[in-house]
Structure 1
């Protein structure tokens, strides 16, 4: 279980391959999840959900709820404005980040009283620049203004820096204090699940890390 200094005493955790016990993070809390679909959609959690709405970020100002998202290369992003008591969890793969899921998450937090200037964010384990090779079709989804996130690769390919791109999009949303844990899911098979690594090795691709954040009662 990993934690971020920037989130301070706010109950939160990023799991490794080892299962994470939500009750150890927020005793008595209710875990709230969504069905992630690589979208830019955000939902508000006001109570325990009976179903799992399609979305890729969750925001709440309600104590006792533990917001959870799962990842296996995409970036898990946990956010908090400790002064207003608003927290959020976002699943930021390249599609979601490119589509605005992080900006939408911050906007949802602001609607509950959060201040972007007071909001902090932590980026958990995600696939890193040296491990993320992409092709021309992927590169064509991004404009020239994003060229700095693509490093040289083998012919016809690039190395995409997803964590740096996520930091950039958080900055576009007004978030200045960002902690990137710097943990490459692909490069650490004994510690993290990685969808891309499992695909390359023809292994089971079902493993996921769980990332959670909540407000105590």
Structure 2
């Protein structure tokens, strides 16, 4: 297997040379089914909470570690909006948070996903970076806004973002409650229009919609002043040979999306 197949290197125009970014796939690890690579070889599952054997996860994390300047600052993700500042986190701490921010070279922000949206941030000077886990609950509750606020508090300048692999707009079926959660956060008619555009009624399924989580994230980022937003071209559900997907498989692994200052 080639390195290009195993890792996903974000296409992020304008990314400062002082910033490193990486997204893993399900390929190139040692985990057996149902955490494998979908093609008969070992999978690079990085989640300790999904039923995989701990020694497999440890080996997979060691494989990832070879690509990084330091151990990733793993989080206990709870679909919330808390943001951890890596300057305040010790090497053995795993805080309950769904985003992290760093201004320290070598410290690695990391998010694990298997359909939820990972969003990476950096300022244009390459001095502040962050990673956020945006499932629909966190997205509707303000995890991206909180991450942007934490970066600005840490001294970040003009921000840009990249959206990593997540469930695509033609696969994410939701109910009216999800749509209403975003409508509740729309502060004006422009916001309502953006939210409405992200939901498409499913023919023959009253009250069911296809949801464009990338579109919702782009709208929320623009609303917070993050105008340069890249990525958003993947679908974890549709690409079973490259990505883990909880919606598709139920019991499955987790991939990671990471960013750091070199």
TM-score (norm 2): 0.75
The answer for the alignment partner of 2:153 in structure 1 is 111
Instruction: Summarize deviations over 1:109-164 as a string: whole Å, max 9, x none.
Output: 0111112xx21110000001100111233333232712111012132211000011
Q: Distance in 2 between matches of 1:163 and 1:181?
A: 6
Is 1:101 the equivalent of 2:143?
yes
The answer for the alignment partner of 1:36 in structure 2 is 77
The answer for the alignment partner of 1:152 in structure 2 is 201
The change in CA–CA distance for 1:119 and 1:110 in structure 2 (over 3 A counts) is same
Q: What SS does the corresponding residue of 2:148 show, helix, strand or coil?
A: helix
The answer for the alignment partner of 1:177 in structure 2 is 228
**Count of residue pairs the alignment pairs up:** 208
Q: Distance in 1 between matches of 2:227 and 2:67?
A: 26
- Which protein has the larger Cα radius of gyration, Structure 1 or Structure 2? 2
Query: CA RMSD for the aligned pairs?
Result: 1.7
Q: Which runs of 5+ in 2 are unaligned?
A: 1-6, 28-43, 45-60, 187-191
Q: Distance in 1 between matches of 2:225 and 2:66?
A: 32
The answer for the alignment partner of 1:3 in structure 2 is 9
1:73–1:126 CA contact under 8 A, matched in 2: yes
TM-score (norm 1): 0.89
1:31–1:48 CA contact under 8 A, matched in 2: no
2:126–2:261 CA contact under 8 A, matched in 1: no
Structure 1 outlier segments of 4+, above 6 Å: none
Q: Among 176, 196, 206, which residue is 1:136 paired with? A: 176
The change in CA–CA distance for 1:22 and 1:213 in structure 2 (over 3 A counts) is farther
Q: Distance in 2 between matches of 1:129 and 1:147?
A: 13
Matches within 5 A, 1:160-171: 160-171=211-222
Superposed displacement of residue 42, structure 1: 0.6
Q: Which runs of 5+ in 1 are unaligned?
A: none
Q: Distance in 2 between matches of 1:215 and 1:41?
A: 21
Q: Distance in 2 between matches of 1:84 and 1:72?
A: 28
Matches within 5 A, 1:175-214: 175-199=226-250, 204-205=251-252, 207-214=253-260
Superposed displacement of residue 181, structure 1: 4.0
2:119–2:161 CA contact under 8 A, matched in 1: yes
Q: Distance in 2 between matches of 1:26 and 1:82?
A: 21
The answer for the alignment partner of 2:261 in structure 1 is 215
The answer for the alignment partner of 2:25 in structure 1 is 16
The change in CA–CA distance for 1:212 and 1:49 in structure 2 (over 3 A counts) is same
The answer for the alignment partner of 2:127 in structure 1 is 85
Deviation larger for 1-10 or 175-184: 1-10
